[in-house]
Amino acid sequence: MRPILMKGHERPLTFLQYNRDGDLLFSCAKDHNPTVWFADNGERLGNYKGHNGAVSTCSISRDSSRLLTASADQTVKLWNVQTGEQLFTFDFDGPARSVDFSVGDRRAVITVDPFMKRPSEIHVKEIAEDVADQTAASVLVVRGPTGRINRAVWGPLNKTIISGGEDAIIRIWDPVTGQEIRSTKDNVNGHTDSVTSICLSADGSHFLTGSHDKTAKLWDTRTLTLLKTYASERPVLAVTMSPLLDHVVLGGGLDASKVTIDRSAGKFEAKFYDKILQEEIGGVKGHFGPLNALAFNPDGKSFASGGEDGYVRLHHCDPEYFHIKL
């Protein structure tokens, strides 16, 4: 797979997401400027200027008309994808970490980091169809778990919210009452270190989590039953799943500065595993630092990775990839 190298960020990448049609790729980085690219050839279309801090995650509406971005400048901004215009700014009392549009795009779940003795928070906001009607009020606020919540996403049909963070516990919340429905707190097979990323399957029936404990785990969305575990040699910072094949991809790595104390440092590659058999089937190298972001195109024929080196690498899968035999 010969990658297309996309250099549009001056700082490390933090997040990548394709739009639903798979023709646009959105990237977030610590350089304040979320960027949009053509997913086919890697051409940069433009960026969204307005944040004053590192941008950690983004979410794109189903019709690709609106973009939400969460930033360390304590704001979440709503953008017009086509024009780059800022439509609305949600202000918070701490750095905004994660954002995710609901199915139907009428709500968004946002996580806010602990800050100045304030605990971590999960906010649910109404997203108005007409920007003139948009308000900053939260429909629901959950003041929650100890430590940072790194990621929160909507479950199937917006019936639940799934979150994971520094306390290593995955939680499923009721988005109406804010009650915790179930968690991995007492699960002996759960993560033992900070949960870094969550990726929901295309049909929403299961989801994948990555962790600093050097594993990724596959869970049943409804029951939170552990289905599979994928072991890595290094902390898993990003995870994604192929919508076409039974493949999961893990990315991560230790900083090169730790190479003297851990032999696994310095190996920066996207590792492919068989989803069912849990066996490693290959890897894609190229980054000069840990992989912080991974995303599969909705058509399953290409994927993108973003690293600490500031590069986005766009990989179009070779025909042989679709016929890998174990």
Q: Quick check: 58 pLDDT over 60?
A: yes
Tokens 């086919």 locate to 40
pTM recorded for the entire structure = 0.94
Say what the pLDDT of residue 12 is.
Answer: 95
Average pLDDT, the chain: 93
pLDDT-derived band of residue 146, with 50, 70 and 90 as boundaries? confident
Say what the pLDDT of residue 256 is.
Answer: 54
Q: Quick check: 260 pLDDT over 60?
A: no
pLDDT digits (tens, 9 = 90+) for 271-284: 999 999 999 999 89
Contacts of residue 36, defined as CB under 8 A and 6 or more positions apart, other chains included, come to 24, 25, 26, 27, 44, 45, 46, 47, 48, 67, 81
**What is the mean predicted confidence (pLDDT) over 87-98?**
97
Say what the pLDDT of residue 135 is.
Answer: 96
Name the CA dihedral angle for 291, 18, 100, 210, rounded to a multiple of 10 degrees: -30
The pLDDT > 90 percentage for the chain reads: 86
User: What is the C-alpha end-to-end distance of the chain, expressed in Å?
Assistant: 19
pLDDT digits (tens, 9 = 90+) for 2-57: 899 999 999 999 999 999 999 999 999 999 999 999 999 999 999 999 999 999 99
Plot region of 116 (φ>0 → left; ψ -120 to 50 → alpha; else → beta): left
Class of domain 4-323: mainly beta
Say what the pLDDT of residue 258 is.
Answer: 57
**What is the mean predicted confidence (pLDDT) over 162-190?**
95
**What is the mean predicted confidence (pLDDT) over 139-167?**
94
Domain ranges of the chain: 4-323
